[in-house]
Amino acid sequence: MKIFLQVVNKFKISLISFGIFLIIGLIVWGFRNIMYLYLFVGIGFLDSATRILIQYFPKARQFVRLSLQFTIGFFLLVWLGLIIGVNFQFPEIFFDTYAGIITGALIQLIVARLILPFFLGNGFCSRACWTGFFFEMTNPIVRDKRKIIHRSNYIAWSYLIGLVCLSFFVAFIWDPATNIEMRKWWIIGENLFIASIGFILTFFIGSRAYCRMLCPFMTISGLISPYSLFKITPINFSKCTNCRLCNKNCPMLIKVETYVNNNKRINDPTCILCERCISACTEGVLKLTTKNELAIK
């Protein structure tokens, strides 16, 4: 029993992650079909397995995470999106609403943006989002203070509301929810638009501009992520040398060091739990944990 509890404690993030995906898969199976159970169990298994791998090979943390993100993102975009025709992007929710149906987009919103954030914050962004993978590969971390524009809720919510209005307009004119050819062209066009605007904006206003400033999914999950069970936590803040490598490596331009100096968990609503700050810290100050676990008060 003692060994069992030690194993559970050691791998608790992986077990919780797998458990959440399993439960979600079972629930969605009840409403839709068994393919959703396979999908969520598969994603949960990959996420858990990579988290265990990282525990044994922490130096490979970013390679393993990006490999996972590429695999899941490629599957969601190319197989489910372009081949099967399931659109996971935000406007699809309103195309479907207009047509009176439920497809992957609404399920993605509920699972990744309304349930998962209570446990793993915006973790979907650093482990499954294909646009996030593209930005991570192409967006330099611009830290020129003259250029950086920080997130504005006014801009983010205006963009979201504008997108909802545009989506209903497009649904009224072309009805992409029931027209598979139209839907595929929309998927291609929308992804090209997001990639281009994110790529261009980053050069003017700093790293991951689209994610930080505009993405409607972030706007929604960012309301919940500050209450996440798991967060980046300073487990021994007294070892911090104020080198600021964590700040320099954060793609969301979060002032990690300030949180560390105040012995506070990273509570920023835009943290995507990429763990780049953990990888950058040579003093082992940071860890992904439950509330104040191991923290020196």
Q: Indicate the residue whose CB is closest to ligand SF4.
A: 132
Could you say which of 13, 93, 129, 224 contacts ligand SF4 (CB under 6 A)? 129
266 binds ligand SF4 per the rule CB under 6 A = yes
105 makes contact with ligand SF4 (CB under 6 A): no
Work out whether the CA dihedral 132, 135, 136, 140 comes out positive or negative: negative
Is 9 a binder of ligand SF4 (CB under 6 A)? no
User: Bridge-partner residues for 288, per DSSP?
Assistant: 232
Q: Which amino acid, one-letter code, is at 284?
A: G
Question: Is 214 within 8 Å of 156 (Cβ atoms)?
Answer: yes
* Chosen residue from 28, 39, 105, 246 binding ligand SF4 by CB under 6 A: 246
Binding status of residue 156 toward ligand SF4 by CB under 6 A: no
As separate numbers, helices (DSSP H) first and strands (DSSP E) second, the chain gives 16, 2
Token pair for residue 2? 């003692």
Q: Any bridge partners for residue 286, and if so which? A: 234
**Residue type, position 135, single letter:** F
Coil, helix or strand for 288?
strand
Binding mask 165-204 for ligand SF4 (x = CB under 6 A): ----------------------------------------
Judged by CB under 6 A, the number of residues near ligand SF4 is 37
Burial grade of 219 (CB within 10 A; 0-12, 13-18, 19 or more) = buried
In angstroms, give the least distance from the CB of 279 to ligand SF4: 8
Contact between 51 and ligand SF4 per CB under 6 A: no
- Residues 66, 283, 285: CA angle, nearest 5 degrees: 75
Q: Does the footprint of ligand SF4 cover residue 281 (CB under 6 A)?
A: yes
Q: Give the footprint of ligand SF4 on residues 203-222 (CB under 6 A).
A: 210-211, 215, 217-218
- Provide the binding-site residues for ligand SF4, judged by CB under 6 A: 125, 129, 131-132, 210-211, 215, 217-218, 232, 240-246, 249-250, 252, 254, 256-257, 260, 266, 271-277, 280-281, 283, 285-286
